[in-house]
Amino acid sequence: MTTSETSNLDILQQQDPDVYAALKGEEQRQKSGIELIPSENYTFPEVLATLGSVFTNKYSEGYPGRRYYGGQQYTDQIETLARDRAKAVFKCEHANVQPLSGSAMNQAVYLGLLEPGDTIMAMDLSHGGHLTHGAPVSHMGKLFNFVRYVTNPVDGSIDYDQVRKDALEHKPKMVLCGYTSYPRDIDYEKFKAIADEVGAITMTDASHFGGLVAGQSMRNPFDFGFDIVTTTTHKSLRGPRGGMVLCKKEFASKIDKSVFPGLQGGPHMNAIAGIAVTLKRAQTQGFKDYAEQVLVNSKTLADELMQRQASLITGGTDNHMMVVDTMASYGLDGRVAEETLDKVNITTNKQIIPDDPLPPLRPSGIRIGTPAATARGMNEADMRQLGEWIDRCLRSPEDEAVLGEIQGAVETFCEKFPVPGL
Ligand SMILES: *Cc1c(COP(=O)(O)O)cnc(C)c1O
């Protein structure tokens, strides 16, 4: 840590001991537990430095070279760096790095390229889609006519025959793929062929696996002719909280106008500085190795759980996450499973499974992912150990002795793996 950061923390401690104490508590929580929520990660130390920097003081409405306020020589530099690096990393023609987060990024795409009432095909929330993919409780779900596709009950993969049938029937203006809880890769060729048949725009929301596309361990939708790819920057990419819209040149001007002034005002330049440094990291061999290890770890953990007779949705994983049917495996609903694992410092999240008979706050499963654990340097042997702990916990949720023993073991284990930036 530099002296100025240390002194800023000293000032925080003096000025506001309550917030300081919570910050220290959260640091300790992140150090002494294993983070397995698939959408979370530990960002790079240099990202923490940019987020707490003077870029947070600056208003930069507009885009580099065309701003509504003066004093933009350095903000223009970092936004241009971020955009150029995004284009290089994702092999695309245009990048907008201003969306304030993932939800705003998707809203900007729909509102910029479509008219209210237009039809969009996207994955159903309960089968793995995101809230912003037209869930009825979301504003977007009310503004646009979403047709939701599901997974097939046989192997749990997306039912492409049904997607095609629905597309021919409903003639969507946009076909959207991407997920928040789906342990398989996407068949981009099939989606593209279906969209072409009905003349729809193709969009992938790569929020969860954007870092794995960047690190080249998962396929890039642009290699299959996709028009738009969106991704959050804080999940597998390990950057600051934010979103990016990546697209073909023909959509560039509509996307830029939709983000600003259509949807947002001033961009968060401290976050954009963080995105720039993240995308520099993403071009290194170290990041490629990281992305590969995330997948190896995910497969290893899934394998360990299945060897112990846990039931995984789709019977495994092709990506960084798995969904465990805790009801079928252990007779525990997802809430109890999540709370039991919390007791031993293993953080997961309860998760609805396809056609879940149980309600969202007490669903049938949990979701587990490896991006954060891998960022701390955990490998295959560590995943096998984790699998054993998870399985033992969920088999004895009431046994305080077992839980206490595992909690102690997890804390000791965590000491071997420093949290990046701490
Ligand atoms: C996380 C996520 C988002 C939304 O990101 P926020 O930053 O939480 O708004 C959008 N789409 C998908 C698929 C996601 O996983």
- What are 9-63's pLDDT values in tens digits? 999 999 999 999 999 999 999 999 999 999 999 999 999 999 999 999 999 999 9
Q: What pLDDT does 4 receive?
A: 56
| 66 in active site | no
Q: Is the pLDDT of residue 185 over 60?
A: yes
| Identified catalytic residue from 59, 63, 74, 160 | 59
Q: Residue 110 has which token pair? A: 């729909």
Q: How far is CA 113 from CA 197, 204, 258, 313, 344, in A?
A: 19, 14, 8, 34, 47
Q: Is the pLDDT of residue 3 over 60?
A: no
Question: Rounded to whole angstroms, how far apart are CA atoms 203 and 130?
Answer: 14
Question: Rounded to whole angstroms, how far apart are CA atoms 360 and 334?
Answer: 9
Is the CB–ligand 1 distance for residue 133 below 6 Å?
no
Q: Is the pLDDT of residue 5 over 70?
A: no
CA-closest candidate to residue 242, choices 23, 30, 51? 51
Query: Model pTM greater than 0.85?
Result: yes
| Identified catalytic residue from 241, 254, 288, 362 | 241
Q: Is the pLDDT of residue 365 over 60?
A: yes
Is the CB–ligand 1 distance for residue 242 below 6 Å?
no
User: Going from the N-terminus, what domains does the chain have, and what CATH number goes with each?
Assistant: 54-281 (3.40.640.10), 293-414 (3.90.1150.10)
Q: Is the pLDDT of residue 158 over 80?
A: yes
DSSP-based helix, strand, coil % in the chain, nearest 5:
50, 15, 35
| Nearest Cα residue to atom 5 of ligand 1 | 102
Q: Is the pLDDT of residue 118 over 90?
A: yes
Q: Is the pLDDT of residue 1 over 80?
A: no
| 241 in active site | yes
Q: Are 350 and 366 in contact (CB under 8 A)?
A: yes
Helical residues (DSSP H) of 185-263, grouped into ranges = 188-198, 210-214, 252-257
| 35 in active site | no
- How, if at all, do strands 145-149 and 94-96 pair? unpaired
- Ligand 1 site-directed mutation target among 106, 130, 138, most atoms within 8 Å of CB: 130
Q: What pLDDT does 154 receive?
A: 86
